[in-house]
Amino acid sequence: MIQLKFTLNGDRVETWVKGQEMLLDILRDNFNLPGTREGCGLGECGACTVLVNGASVNSCLFPALEVEGKIVETIESLADAGKFHPLQQAFLDNGASQCGFCTPGMIMSAKAFIDSYPGRPAAVSEAEIKQALAGNLCRCTGYFQIIAAVKAAMQEQD
Ligand code: FES
Ligand code: FES
């Protein structure tokens, strides 16, 4: 076992990991954060998306040891004192979450996109949102409501 220290959802944390463990496994098993989902386990569905130093990654394929000294954010970090993050509220308002399995990963990919968006958020195009969420699959919504939710959250920011 190897000791690992990093910042998780705003807190400095330490844990012990096996050399081959993936970030997804330690988030769920060592830190009891079940919001990050395991879908394909192959880097194809995006259900396991979290942010590492602000960039979205597929945590099912991201070696846990690579977060040493870094900042990791999961869906559990978004709500503030019981109040939804604007993206969470926009998903709710636009019916963008149905079974909900893809939702945490979608929202984390959307957050990375919004946080690094170079222009005025309200000017975002549907094509840009689609490209940003291309690695996240949803079997329920047909994506229309998800794109609408991200657009609404960005318009609110502007
Ligand atoms: S579970 Fe990680 S990409 Fe599907
Ligand atoms: S809401 Fe069911 S997979 Fe997206």
52 alpha carbon – ligand 2 mean position (Å): 24
Cα separation, 86 vs 79, in Å, equals: 9
Determine the atom of ligand 1 nearest the C-alpha atom of 39: 1
**Three-class DSSP labels, 74-130:** CHHHCCECCECCHHHHHHHHCCCCCCCCCHHHHHHHHHHHHHCCCCCHHHCCHHHHH
- Please give the CATH topology (third level) of the domain spanning 2-77: Ubiquitin-like (UB roll) (3.10.20)
Q: Is 34 exposed, middle or buried (0-12, 13-18, 19+ CB in 10 A)?
A: middle
Q: Ligand 1 — pocket residues by CB below 6 A? A: 38-41, 43-48, 58, 60
> Which residue, by CA, sits nearest to atom 4 of ligand 2?
138
46 alpha carbon – ligand 1 mean position (Å): 5
CATH number assigned to the domain with residue range 86-157, chosen from the 4 options 1.10.150.120, 3.40.50.2020, 3.90.230.10, 3.40.50.1980:
1.10.150.120
Q: Which among 45, 49, 102 is the best mutation to test ligand 2's pocket, defined by most ligand atoms within 8 Å of the CB?
A: 102
Cα separation, 31 vs 74, in Å, equals: 11
Output the average pLDDT for the chain.
Answer: 96
Report the residue count for the chain: 158
Domain ranges for the chain, please list them: 2-77, 86-157
Q: Is the pTM of this model over 0.85?
A: yes
The answer to whether 37 and 97 have CB atoms below 8 angstroms apart is no
What would the pLDDT profile of 32-58 be if each residue is shown by its tens digit? 999 999 999 999 999 999 999 999 999
For residue 147, pLDDT over 90 is answered with yes
- Strands in 55-58's sheet, in edge-to-edge order, are 11-17, 2-8, 71-73, 49-52, 55-58
**Lookup result for tokens 């291309």:** 134
